[in-house]
Structure 1
Amino acid sequence: MLCVLKPDAYDIRISMSFSKYQFFFLGFLNLCLIKHLAQSQNHTLIFSKDNHFRNCSCSVDIQSCDYNLANLMCNCKNINPPKNKTSYNGDLTIWFSDTSTLGKLVNFTFVHNLKLSLCGASTLPTEYLAILGLRFLRVQAESIQEQSLTITQCNAKDRLCQVPTEPPFHISYLDTSLFNGLPLLKSYSVKNVSSIKEQFPNLPYSSWISATNKSYIVTLIY
């Protein structure tokens, strides 16, 4: 009888030991998955405060222009204003109070999903800022409720969504005066533009664009 019981007890101990390690292993995988999902959902917030530019990685939405909450809830650090063109893979939110700050942060920047919030009651002049590869835009200010605009509808098979530097190249020009309280956010696109400098001489232009692209889709946002 004892010879029969001992193997059974040994099997039970092995089973319980295996279940314990399996439990911890599955728990570890769950923690890794949660961390990965949290990181993948983070979005970038950039703002200027007290003569410093702050770059924040946020996992939750922050009320526009709430600087204290952003510093508390997001992972923020001081940065220098970008001198060269910058590319953002995820969502980008920018809080600004003047066109100079906005221009330093978005002019000739690659970004697909962008939100711009004007902090304060400033009246902005008419200036055009170039945004490259823009697909979806949201704007907000004290004088206007949040509005959104889809610039480009794309899917995984769309060439525009695969390589943003291959022709046709999408470039959007944002009229900064739209933050002064215009009733509705609008856009107008022109396809098959061969030369921005010749066809739109009053819009900002960068020489490196013409060196890499021969066909453009130009969108005016106003």
Structure 2
Amino acid sequence: METCYGKAERSRRRISMPFYSSHPFLFGFLGFCMLKNLVSSQNYTLIFASDLNNVRNCSCSTLIRDCDYSLANLMCSCKTILFQRNRTLSSLVYTGDLTVWFPNTPTLGQLLNFSLVNDLKISFCGAAPLPAQYLAILGLRHLRVKTRGAPEQSLKLYNHEDIVSKDAACTDSGGRRSSHHISYLDTSLFNRNTSLRSYSVEDVPSIADHFPNLPYPGTGSAAINVSFVVTLIY
């Protein structure tokens, strides 16, 4: 015969069962939401300019429609920056993901030429066709381009792990010790709807000697234990 004490004890055990054991899907959903919020909170840098007198540098936590200046000013944390005019062969360093909206080639050149950036998206916001000029970008690993009336295109140039292994192999074999990546972007590609393509040449000792028609930084001449990986993007 079961006593009232035994019934109460079993009832207490049922009530004290861990809440999460009876609601696994709820806790799984909450964990997914927390992870999603954590990922989406990672900001990226957006730079846009209608001209070099009005350059805006923004930190954005959400994707903004290309070339929507009003929405960017509303949704991102933006500030106007003073920009050095006629900047030539001097590097700017951009950390993290960078998106650039530009209206013309001179503005794009002032914002990016000979700058160091790993992950880059460039969106053309102008109307007039662009001339065929080469934009030099250092250390570029991943590129996305967007032209009005065409879908976004993406190009992966190299992985950091690949470069580390190649440099180690060169050191062990007594070859050149370090490689510097420099990419040349043909700005006329924004006039076309053709596929984005690239062509790379490795172990270039001197850009000035091998590609005399391309601009090059101060280290473009031959140097001891230094070589270049030159990538043409078109």
Q: Do residues 79 (structure 1) and 94 (structure 2) align?
A: no
Q: Helix, strand or coil for the counterpart of 1:121?
A: coil
Length-normalised TM-score, structure 2:
0.72
Q: TM-score, normalised by structure 1?
A: 0.75
Are residue 220 (structure 1) and residue 210 (structure 2) matched? Answer: no
Equivalent residue in structure 1 for 2:196, among 177, 181, 185: 185
Deviations for 1:79-100, whole angstroms, at most 9, x for unmatched residues?
1225441111200000001000
Partner of 1:22: none
Alpha-carbon distance between aligned partners in 2 of 1:168 and 1:49, rounded to the nearest angstrom: 36
Q: Does 1:124 align with 2:130?
A: yes
1:66 partner letter: D
Correspondence for 2:48:
47
Instruction: Report whether the alignment pairs 1:196 with 2:214.
Output: no
**Cα displacement (A) at 1:63:** 0.5
Structure with the greater alpha carbon radius of gyration: 2
Whether the aligned pair in 1 keeps the contact of 2:123 and 2:146 (CA below 8 Å) is: yes
Identity level (%): 55
Distance 2:132 2:193 in 1: 13
CA drift at 1:143: 3.9
For residues 224 and 116 of structure 2, the distance between their equivalents in structure 1, rounded to whole angstroms, comes to 15
Letter matched to residue 227 of structure 2: S
Give the match for residue 155 of structure 1.
Answer: 161
Letter in 2 for 1:52: N
**Deviation, structure 1 residue 41:** 1.3
User: What is the CA distance between 1:209 and its match in structure 2?
Assistant: 4.6
Query: Number of residue pairs matched?
Result: 185
- Deviations along 1:45-73, one digit per CA (max 9) or x if unpaired, are 00113630000010111110000010011
State the Cα deviation string for residues 156-191 of structure 1 (Å, max 9, x = none).
983689xxxx82000000000000014100000000
Partner of residue 171, structure 1: 182
1:109, 1:170 → 2: CA distance? 12
Rounded to whole Å, the distance in 2 between the matches of 1:160 and 1:111 is: 21
Look up the equivalent residue of 2:200 and give its one-letter code. S
CA contact (8 A) 1:143 1:180 kept: no
Deviation at 1:192, TM superposition (A): 0.4
Shift of 1:125: 0.4
- The answer on whether the counterparts of 2:50 and 2:103 sit within 8 Å (CA) in structure 1 is no
C-alpha separation between the residues in 2 aligned to 1:111 and 1:56?
16
Unaligned runs of 5+ in 2: 1-33, 168-176
Q: Residue 88 in 1 paired to residue 100 in 2? A: no
2 CA distance for matches of 1:158 and 1:177? 33
Counterpart CA distance in 1 for 2:150 and 2:78 is 28
Q: What is the CA distance between 1:214 and its match in structure 2?
A: 2.3
Cα displacement string for residues 139-170 of structure 1 (whole angstroms, at most 9, x for unaligned residues): 00114221000011233983689xxxx82000
- Unaligned 5+ segments in structure 1 are 1-32
